[in-house]
Amino acid sequence: MISKTINLTLKVWRQNRGEKKGRLETYSAKNISVDMSFLEMLDVVNEELTKNKKETIAFDHDCREGICGMCGAVVNGRPHGHEKETTLCQLHMRHFSDGDIIVIEPWRARAFPLIKDLVVDRSALDNIIQAGGFISVNAGGAPDANALPISKEIAEAAFNAAACIGCGACVAACPNASAMLFVSAKVSQFALLPQGRPEAARRARTMVRMMDQCGFGNCSNETECEAECPKGISISNIARLNREFLKAEFS
Amino acid sequence: MNPDVKMHTKLDAKVPAGSLAEKWDRHRFNLKLVNPANKKKFEIIVVGTGLAGASAAATFAELGYHVKNFCIQDSPRRAHSIAAQGGINAAKNYSNDGDSVWRLFYDTIKGGDFRAREANVYRLAQLSCNIIDHCVAQGIPFARDYGGFLDNRSFGGAQVSRTFYAKGQTGQQLLLGAYSSLMRQVSTGMVKLFPRREMMDLVVVDGKARGIVVRNLITGELETYTAHAVVLATGGYGNVFNLSTNAMASNVTAAFRAYKKGAYFANPCYTQIHPTCIPVHGTFQSKLTLMSESLRNDGRVWVPKKPRDKRRPGDIPESERDYYLENKYPSFGNLVPRDVASRNAKEQCDLEKGVGETGLAVYLDFADAIKRDGENAIAGKYGNLFQMYEKITGDNPYKTPMMIYPAVHYTMGGLWVDYNLMSTIPGLFVLGEANFSDHGANRLGASALMQGLADGYFVIPYTIGGYLAQTSFSEINVPDSKEFKQGIQNVQQRIDKLLSVNGRRTVTEFHRELGLILWEYCGMSRNEEGLLKAREMVSNLRHEFWKDVYVPGTGKDLNQSLEKAGRVADFLEFGELMILDALARKESCGCHFNTAFQTEENEARRDDQNFCHVACWEYNGDDQVPNFHKESLTFENVELSQRSYK
Ligand SMILES: Cc1cc2nc3c(=O)[nH]c(=O)nc-3n(C[C@H](O)[C@H](O)[C@H](O)COP(=O)(O)OP(=O)(O)OC[C@H]3O[C@@H](n4cnc5c(N)ncnc54)[C@H](O)[C@@H]3O)c2cc1C
Ligand code: SF4
Ligand code: FES
């Protein structure tokens, strides 16, 4: 029993560092086993390019398990491709058919300048966390972990918000290139937990300000972010962020 | 000992005096303190932003030191620690089931097959409780029970429930906690962040670690940074095997460069192979995915009795299945330790009883558990794992048995450090998986996260102070420093060389070949003949690499092929060191299983008379056999015993 293979045509965004304009270039991906992941398929194309002494396609990746948030590209117009709640590294080729044409482009957003090919600079997301995405506690001073009971429901809701992997697909999906889903996930995680309450209002304000400063757009409730988020982060977090933000502005 | 290896001095681990329970307290008292006003005069380089690196960098900054923090990924939050699933141990005894600092200490020492340092392990068990307190304060959403208190589970065969977890994403949540503390310190200006940088060399001035050379992965430029101390938290080297559960960028480069600058490498042959991973699907497989070990609580492992039986699992009747773990180890059955389960799986496949397309897999069957407890109960326990399995393989484990195979998972070996976590180079400290310290010859589940965070939050912040307070430092002016100039020059030469070979084979091809050699001869079981053969094969492969590799692109740009080439070049050299270490350890212990040394029950047979030591290797020039040093291990508090799982 040999697993099924397919042949594909790729149109991949190529753009060198410093180049004003990029272009879609066409490659063929031959004999791709349907058990491969999307990134392994790109590996195959890159091996072929290397053998022909050509420069490989640059793309970010690391864990290849859907948890580090490093990978991501827009595949046929959809961030991380068409499978629901799946990162690009966990998208398997069995979801494609022989003869498919696949267009692969980088995240596009003003706040994510392009570095090369499919690689963009997402350090703006780190800047947002620096603005307030933490609880101000130093190592060494904490009380016993069980001193503060937290209901299972609250702990789980906080966990669900904390599951964001910081990939930036929500930004790529949003017509305004807003990072609201990302910001709201972090604000919610801490706003839900009693440890995070003391700084909740300030955190919402400083993080949203930083988001604006970094060049992300505003949220106009398009909900594309939720649809494309690989971790199923809910837009109800945005409502919670808005409440915290209003509190901060009026206090 | 091999005839060509030179034996040298004994190493002093600087373990403080006093009873085990008092050592750390006393030591902290005896360590010199840096005057609070002086802390800001010191700069510390931290390489790595995983649990160990991020926690150390954040804590240094909280104390008032200036920190420069480096990582390969585009953000510190993406370090490989993010992928840890199962949990983190702590001796809280919240379950009231008899756990204690002593029990965690004892389990860790025994699990490591008595090849770890007592004092370090005891300190680790002591600090485990502080970690959980701090992590909860940071807002880490650990699993809780209905009373709102923290939930614990038993993990990796432990007899007590001491593992704290956050669904199957414990590493992610712990790392995001450390990352948030780190980001807070970036915003205060105490930490300066350098992502997308790869450390290419360590710079030693007047015998002390004083800086690093890094490659800016975007521009390709080589940059130098100075500091009063350098802390490496660069993770493990499992990717030397090509396929492993580690993230793609995990490497040995940083540690190996430090080794070449004089830091001793300890126990490189100790690698842990995890029994339950998703099997390899083909040549282009890029990494392996771990399935939680908890699956063995309900799944039954079997293979067909007949070799090369290609029937579908459902068509193989009960009488023609071999539940080999249950048959061989009647009392532990499917729950034998990781190394035993792994070795047995490979053995079955070597007998051509392996299943699936490649014949490199065994079944893990839930049919009986589903019959017994119902599909809902099984889904409640393992739902997310079954889903993940289906996503990757396209098979539904409720309907057909899972296929699993062992995979390289963790490396216990690493740079040698003393009780202060300082290497043999003054001012070079090593934390987390990158050091060799606490797990001996085998690591217990949920202990790596604990060690990384103990090192970073609670050990190094003290011990580095002792070093800084006692050391005098010369001024360094980089443009004039011959050491820094030399560092840049060496790195540049190597990059130029990689780009100019212009051969015919790709880096991936070499990496794959190296991986296969090590897996076969220096993997879960070894013997002298195989190791000798492998040593020659790896050496030949390395020479071939430098003659025939082709690396596309230039050095002046983001060039992922070049990055990989550098890492694989180091793996090729390092592979030989692993083999040498495995050859020199003429016993079996923990994950180092030499078939010549086994009990009648096929258990590792230690030789405590001759090998109760840490094996340390000192670089001695290219193509030269490294010098051997040893740290003798003495056990004053536990009795050495022989494992048995029959
Ligand atoms: C799939 C999986 C599941 C696991 N599950 C568990 C578990 O449940 N419980 C448990 O206790 N342990 C678990 N482990 C083990 C544990 O995750 C690791 O041992 C631990 O996270 C290592 O942390 P670290 O901080 O030492 O290194 P890492 O997290 O590997 O971080 C290394 C850092 O160093 C940087 N770096 C590396 N090389 C360089 C260089 N040359 N230049 C610059 N920067 C560099 C990287 O960018 C990164 O920031 C698991 C491991 C795997 C693979
Ligand atoms: S909210 Fe979802 S899409 Fe946005 S960064 Fe987080 S995980 Fe990615
Ligand atoms: S590579 Fe880590 S999420 Fe895809």
Q: Which residues in chain A (24-83) have CB-CB distances under 8 A to chain B? A: 33-37, 39-40, 43-44, 46-47, 49-51, 53-56, 58, 60-65, 67-70
Q: H/E element holding B316? A: none
Distance of alpha carbon B76 from alpha carbon B82, whole angstroms: 10
C-alpha dist (Å) from residue B26 to A98, A219, B29: 68, 56, 5
Least confident of B106-110, B121-125, B334-338: B334-338
Chain B hits for A116, Cβ within 8 Å: 218, 557-558
Q: Are B591 and B285 in contact (CB under 8 A)?
A: no
What are phi and psi for residue B409, nearest 5 degrees? Answer: -130, -40
How many H helices and E strands in chain B?
Answer: 18, 20
Residue B334 alpha carbon to ligand 1 centre in Å: 28
Least confident of B93-107, B155-169, B267-281, B418-432: B155-169
Q: Are B153 and B99 in contact (CB under 8 A)?
A: no
Q: Which residues in chain A (91-110) have CB-CB distances under 8 A to chain B? A: 92, 94
| Four-residue CA torsion sign, A238, A239, A244, A249 | positive
Q: Which atom of ligand 3 is nearest to the CA of A167?
A: 3
Q: Which of B3, B8, B6, B12 is nearest to B417 (CA)?
A: B12
Closest chain A C-alpha to B494 CA, distance in angstroms: 20
Q: Can you tell me the mean pLDDT for A197-222?
A: 96
- If phi > 0 it is left, if psi is from -120 to 50 it is alpha, else beta; for residue A2 that is beta
Q: Are B629 and B9 in contact (CB under 8 A)?
A: yes
Q: Can you tell me the mean pLDDT for B526-540?
A: 98
Domains of chain B: which residue ranges?
275-407, 483-632
Residue B3, pLDDT score = 46
Give B243-261 pLDDT, tens digit per residue. 999 999 999 999 999 999 9
Residue B314 burial (10 A CB sphere; 0-12, 13-18, 19+): exposed
Q: Are B199 and B212 in contact (CB under 8 A)?
A: yes
Q: Tokens 């710079």 belong to which residue?
A: B203
CB-facing half-sphere around the CA of B557: CA atoms within 13 A: 20
Residue B285 has pLDDT above 60, yes or no: yes
Amino acid at B83: A
Of A3, A17, A196, the CB nearest to B139: A196
Q: How many CB atoms lie within 10 A of CB B387?
A: 13
Give B169-179 pLDDT, tens digit per residue. 999 999 999 99
- Interface mutation target, options B129, B132, B183, chain A, most CBs of A under 10 Å: B183
| Pocket of ligand 1 contains residue B71 by CB under 6 Å | yes
Distance of alpha carbon B345 from alpha carbon B256, whole angstroms: 32
Residue B576 has pLDDT above 50, yes or no: yes
Residue B159, pLDDT score = 85
What are phi and psi for residue B578, nearest 5 degrees? Answer: -60, -45
DSSP 8-state class, residue B549: B
Q: Are B258 and B436 in contact (CB under 8 A)?
A: no
With a pLDDT cut of 70, the percent of chain B lying above it is 98
Which residue among A41, A43, A75, A87 is best mutated to probe the pocket of ligand 3, counting the most ligand atoms within 8 A of its Cβ?
Answer: A87
Residue A165 alpha carbon to ligand 2 centre in Å: 6
Residue B239 burial (10 A CB sphere; 0-12, 13-18, 19+): buried
3 state DSSP class of B532: helix
> Pairing relation of β-strands B88-89 and B362-365?
unpaired
C-alpha dist (Å) from residue B104 to A144, B126, B130, B135: 19, 9, 14, 19
Q: List, in order, residues 6 or more apart from B475 with CB less than 8 Å away.
A: none
| Pocket of ligand 1 contains residue B272 by CB under 6 Å | no
Residue B382, pLDDT score = 87
Chain A hits for B60, Cβ within 8 Å: none
Q: Is B75 on the interface with A (CB under 8 A)?
A: yes
Residue B59 has pLDDT above 70, yes or no: yes
Q: Are B120 and B210 in contact (CB under 8 A)?
A: no
Residue B563, pLDDT score = 98
Torsion of CA A200, A201, A206, A209, to 10 degrees: 130
Residue A5 has pLDDT above 70, yes or no: yes
The rounded Cα B181 to chain-centroid distance in angstroms is: 24
Partner residues linked to B364 by β-bridges: B301, B402
Q: H/E element holding B411? A: strand B402-411
Distance of alpha carbon B100 from alpha carbon B54, whole angstroms: 28
Q: Are B436 and B413 in contact (CB under 8 A)?
A: yes
Distance of alpha carbon B355 from alpha carbon B322, whole angstroms: 12
Distance of alpha carbon A94 from alpha carbon A84, whole angstroms: 14
Q: Which of B86, B94, B84, B80 is nearest to B133 (CA)?
A: B94
Give A77-116 pLDDT, tens digit per residue. 999 999 999 999 999 999 999 999 999 999 999 999 999 9
Closest chain B C-alpha to A187 CA, distance in angstroms: 11
| Four-residue CA torsion sign, B531, B536, B539, B540 | negative
Residue B339, pLDDT score = 84
- Domains B275-407 and B483-632 are alike in CATH topology: no
- Interface mutation target, options A6, A126, A153, A167, chain B, most CBs of B under 10 Å: A126
| Four-residue CA torsion sign, B434, B440, B441, B447 | negative
> Pairing relation of β-strands B627-632 and B7-10?
parallel
Using pLDDT thresholds of 50, 70 and 90, give the confidence band for residue B2. Answer: low
Fold of domain B483-632: Methane Monooxygenase Hydroxylase; Chain G, domain 1 (1.20.58)
- Interface mutation target, options B60, B128, B176, B250, chain A, most CBs of A under 10 Å: B176
Q: Are A166 and A182 in contact (CB under 8 A)?
A: yes
Residue B4, pLDDT score = 60
Residue B5 has pLDDT above 70, yes or no: no
Radius of gyration of chain B (CA): 24
The CATH number of the structural domain formed by B275-407 is 3.90.700.10
CB-facing half-sphere around the CA of B277: CA atoms within 13 A: 25
| Vertex B192 angle, CA B190 and B195, to 5° | 150
Task: Catalogue all structural domains in chain A, each as residue range(s) with its CATH number.
Answer: 5-116 (3.10.20.30), 123-250 (1.10.1060.10)
Residue A1, pLDDT score = 40
Residue B154 has pLDDT above 90, yes or no: no
pTM of the complete model: 0.97
Amino acid at B630: K
Closest chain B C-alpha to A144 CA, distance in angstroms: 5
3-state secondary structure B80-136: HHHHCCCCEECCCCCCCCCCCHHHHHHHHHHHCCCCCCHHHHHHHHHHHHHHHHHHH
Q: How many CB atoms lie within 10 A of CB B189?
A: 9
With a pLDDT cut of 90, the percent of chain B lying above it is 89
Q: Can you tell me the mean pLDDT for B300-308?
A: 96
Q: Encoding tokens for residue B537?
A: 């094969």
Give B389-423 pLDDT, tens digit per residue. 998 999 999 999 999 999 999 999 999 999 999 99
Give B23-45 pLDDT, tens digit per residue. 999 999 999 999 999 999 999 99
Of A56, A90, A190, the CB nearest to B560: A56
Of B77, B115, B296, B338, the catalytic one is B338
Residue B417 alpha carbon to ligand 1 centre in Å: 18
Residue B340, pLDDT score = 86
Cβ–Cβ below 8 Å for A49 and B552: yes
Is B338 known to be catalytic? yes
Torsion of CA B241, B243, B248, B253, to 10 degrees: 0
Distance of alpha carbon B451 from alpha carbon B150, whole angstroms: 20
| Pocket of ligand 2 contains residue A183 by CB under 6 Å | no
Ligand nearest to the CA of B456: 1
Which residue among A59, A61, A85 is best mutated to probe the pocket of ligand 3, counting the most ligand atoms within 8 A of its Cβ?
Answer: A61
Give B422-474 pLDDT, tens digit per residue. 999 999 999 999 999 899 999 999 999 999 999 999 999 999 999 999 999 99
Q: Is B387 on the interface with A (CB under 8 A)?
A: no
